[in-house]
Amino acid sequence: RKKKKGAPPPRPPSTHRQPPVLTPTTIQTTNHPLSSSTTTSSTPTTRFERHPQHEARFILKYGDRSIYEWEQTLHEVTLFIPTPPLPDATALVCEILPRRLRVGLRRNAGQYFLNQATGGVVDVAASTWTWEGRNAKATTTNLLTIELQKANKGVVWETVCCGGDDDDDDNNTPTPEVALDPMQLEQERQRLLLERWQEENPGMDFRGATFNGSVPDPRTYMGGVRYD
């Protein structure tokens, strides 16, 4: 007689971590992250790509979709999030905390498109946000701009949002789920170090300067950044 095959051994739990912004169940049927209805699809990859027109800016890509853009200077991190058409800025909720950023629509109280720890500590009092609808010249189209002032000048952020939604873990910056790759991070260190030198030596021109070996930390190198 045929022997019955035994049940296959249970699979170990998956250790795959969801992308930090849109998972397959939150991709919007209107094809916009800040809408309300959902559909499903296979899980694409999430990564940062350098902006083709703005050298200092990165695009968070979810598969082929652009979710938001961000860039940083010695002093601040700026986040650019496209939104659906809105009557005015009061339709948005944007909460900036020392270690967390929340963005959503006021009509969806308590539900956020973005509710994540920030990539560094934020000076809340010096941070701000604005929203611009489509203007007559179409130079801007429904864009939320968030300016996060760095509490620690010169720190190089490897991401703008770290992923995860555990509000109880805001005493520490968690390991980012999506971050700049090693080459991108090295390029950012070099760019911010040159920015620091230009700021401290306004009569000199550091454009095109290069480094031999690894780039030093822009915040601590040669006595550290100045706050004057």
What are the pLDDT digits (tens) for 121-164? 999 999 999 999 876 665 668 999 999 999 999 999 999 999 76
User: What average pLDDT score do residues 54-64 get?
Assistant: 93
Put the strands of the sheet holding 65-72 in their side by side order.
46-50, 57-62, 65-72, 76-82, 143-149, 128-132
User: What's the mean per-residue pLDDT of the chain?
Assistant: 81
Report the C-alpha gap between 94 and 10 in whole angstroms. Answer: 44
16, two tokens? 């795959």
Q: State residue 82's pLDDT score.
A: 93
Q: State residue 32's pLDDT score.
A: 55
Reference 194, options 178, 212, 208; nearest CA is 208
The 3-state DSSP class for residue 140 equals coil
Q: Are 173 and 100 in contact (CB under 8 A)?
A: no
Q: How far is CA 140 from CA 15, 80, 94, 122, in A?
A: 40, 11, 19, 26
For 141, residues 6+ apart whose C-beta sits below 8 A from its C-beta are 82, 133, 134
Neighbours of 96 (CB within 10 A): 20
Read off the pLDDT band of 48 (50, 70, 90).
very high
Q: In terms of pLDDT, which residue wins out, 53 or 165?
A: 53
Stated pTM of the model: 0.78
Q: State residue 102's pLDDT score.
A: 95
Task: Map tokens 């998972």 to a residue.
Answer: 23
Contacts 24+ apart (CB under 8 A), 50-55: 50/184
Q: Which helix (H) or strand (E) holds 160?
A: none
Q: Are 142 and 92 in contact (CB under 8 A)?
A: no
Read off the pLDDT band of 18 (50, 70, 90).
very low
